[in-house]
Chain A
Amino acid sequence: GAGVSQSPSNKVTEKGKDVELRCDPISGHTALYWYRQSLGQGLEFLIYFQGNSAPDKSGLPSDRFSAERTGGSVSTLTIQRTQQEDSAVYLCASSFTNSPNQPQHFGDGTRLSIL
């Protein structure tokens, strides 16, 4: 069953290293979203995938951030040359369609700490 699964749940790495975060959406969900949540802050949109369409990357904060979604299912968010300000919880969500009234189903996130 399953809900949205994210791994790892926690990641600690040194500044300057690259990191990869993984998201397994709910089977059959065509829309997938990545968000970032810093302490006491709201959800910051990063990137959105819908089916085979080109992703909406308008929320990516810099070119160090990229994401892929293979086979319309699993997605990987990559952060290159990490900086301390990248420390946050990275949340993935999926929804059945991209209809704007569809609820989003979230994973429990990856807590990323950059030393």
Chain B
Amino acid sequence: SQKIEQNSEALNIQEGKTATLTCNYTNYSPAYLQWYRQDPGRGPVFLLLIRENEKEKRKERLKVTFDTTLKQSLFHITASQPADSATYLCALPASGGSYIPTFGRGTSLIVHP
């Protein structure tokens, strides 16, 4: 069955470093992948979408890559700041042409000053 895996362990990094989060998936060939940010007590907020024919996408300090051979997306935050601390979720469209996305459990990022 379709599965999305994100590292359940929190990622702790020092301010100014680049944070890299991973989203792996199996038994699936998505046409696109989305990344969301979720702060405690808040709903997820959309950040970026990358399509299968795009290897890389950037938005300010954010960069997302999508490797359909490895079935993996990497989410990078450069020059990280304590305000970047949050949980980051990846989402893929469900299989079979469904309009309902499936979300990973998310990875918590903690940026230390």
A100–B49 CA distance with the chains assembled, in angstroms: 11
- A41 proximal to B (CB < 8 A): yes
**Interface assignment of B34: CB less than 8 Å from any CB of chain A:** yes
- CB contacts (< 8 Å) of B93 on chain A: these are 100-101
Closest B residue by C-beta to A105: B46
* B interface size (C-beta, 8 A): 24
Query: Is B113 part of the binding interface, using a Cβ–Cβ cutoff of 8 Å?
Result: no
Which of A1-50 touch B at CB < 8 Å? 4, 31, 33, 35, 40-43, 45, 48, 50
Secondary structure of the B side of the interface?
strand
Contact present for B46 and A45 (CB under 8 Å): no
Interface centre among B31, B98, B104 (most CB of A within 10 A): B98
Interface residues on A, range: 20 to 34
Stretch from A66-74, A76-84, A106-114 that touches the partner: A106-114
Which of B93, B99, B102 has the most CB atoms of chain A within a 10 A radius of its CB? B99
Q: Is the CB of A107 within 8 A of B43?
A: yes
Chain A residues proximal to chain B, CB less than 8 Å: 4, 31, 33, 35, 40-43, 45, 48, 50, 56, 59, 91, 93, 98-101, 103-109
Interface pairs A-B: 10 shortest CB-CB: A106-B43, A103-B46, A42-B105, A43-B103, A100-B93, A98-B99, A108-B43, A106-B44, A42-B103, A101-B32
